[in-house]
Amino acid sequence: MNFHAIKSIYFFEMARTRRTLMQSIVSPVLSTTLYFVVFGAAIGSRISEVDGVSYGAFIVPGLIMLSLMTQSLSNASFGIYFPRFTGTIYEILSAPVSFLEVTIAFVGAAATKSALVGVIILITANFFVPLEIQHPVWMIVFFVLTSVTFALLGFIIGIWADNFEKLQFVPLLIVTPLAFLGGSFYSITMLPEIWQKVTLLNPVVYLISGFRWSFYGQADVSLALSLGMTMLFLLASILVIHRIFKTGYKLKP
């Protein structure tokens, strides 16, 4: 394992965060805070509690997961797309660095950035509502798994995309709607029975449900199912990336 190469790529990506602090950290935190204030004030005044938890506190795990997913996708996809766009990816591919080391570096940096945003949002939420984390270990597990999984997906998108429009297509038109419809702001038990079954087809439900369980001990689906679906998503992303590097898909002329 070439740890020197991993370290070099990782810190190069992290340095870009310092140069674009407003876009990388401040903007997503402010956007999520606005979500929290608007939804918490507008809907919270009509829905006092959900499953015994105040509505303001109930939506915090969903907002954190929404931020983790979108930021992991965006950071990882742009991180690998930009070297492809400028042609510097060929310098990386010609170096004695394996596909595993390249993936660890880019995905690790993207996951770190999104995790930092998620932690800031969690701290900020404490100023608005009292939070209770009943299972901190499981919270960290789902927090890390989600960051890494969606960073892997973003890495795939960054290789697949041919232009900036495609780069934004999946995060804006697929992942964000799935997150909104996946129980970020409500419990799926509040839906009619037929829509509850339809909602279970949304993979984001399992991520949000498991993460919310770590806070309040309540979930729309079982912990085992949430963890299993997350691990399945993670494994599928790893296999796709392995296939990409093995075939040279959109990486080799």
Specify whether the CB–CB gap between 216 and 222 falls below 8 A: no
- What does the chain come to in residues? 253
pLDDT exceeds 80 at position 37:
no
Number of Cβ within 10 Å of residue 170's Cβ equals: 19
For residues 65-77, average pLDDT:
90
Q: Is the pLDDT of residue 182 over 70?
A: yes
Give the tokens for residue 221.
């689906």
Question: What pLDDT was estimated at residue 42?
Answer: 67
Lookup result for tokens 């290789």: 159
Render pLDDT for 143-171 as a digit per residue (tens, 0 to 9): 999 999 999 999 999 999 888 888 888 87
In three state form, how does the secondary structure of the chain look? CCHHHHHHHHHHHHHHHHHCHHHHHHHHHHHHHHHHHHHHHHCCCCCCEECCEEHHHHHHHHHHHHHHHHHHHHHHHHHHHHHHHHCCHHHHHHCCCCHHHHHHHHHHHHHHHHHHHHHHHHHHHCCCCCCCCCCHHHHHHHHHHHHHHHHHHHHHHHHHCCCHHHHHHHHHHHHHHHHHCCCCCCCHHHCCHHHHHHHCCCCHHHHHHHHHHHHHCCCCCCHHHHHHHHHHHHHHHHHHHHHHHHHCCCCCC
Q: What percent of the chain has pLDDT over 70?
A: 94
pLDDT classification of 173: cutoffs 50, 70, 90: confident
First to last CA, the chain: 27
- Report pLDDT for 40: 66
Record the tokens describing residue 182, joined without a space: 């996946």
Tell me how crowded residue 123 is: count the other CB atoms within 10 A of its CB.
11
Res 52: pLDDT = 78
Per-range mean pLDDT, top range of 79-83, 97-101, 151-155:
151-155
Q: What is the mean pLDDT of the chain?
A: 86
Confidence of residue 218 (pLDDT cuts 50, 70, 90): confident
Residue 249 confidence (pLDDT)? 84
Is residue 20's pLDDT more than 80?
A: no
Under the banding of pLDDT at 50, 70 and 90, the label for residue 139 is: very high
Average pLDDT over residues 57-79: 90
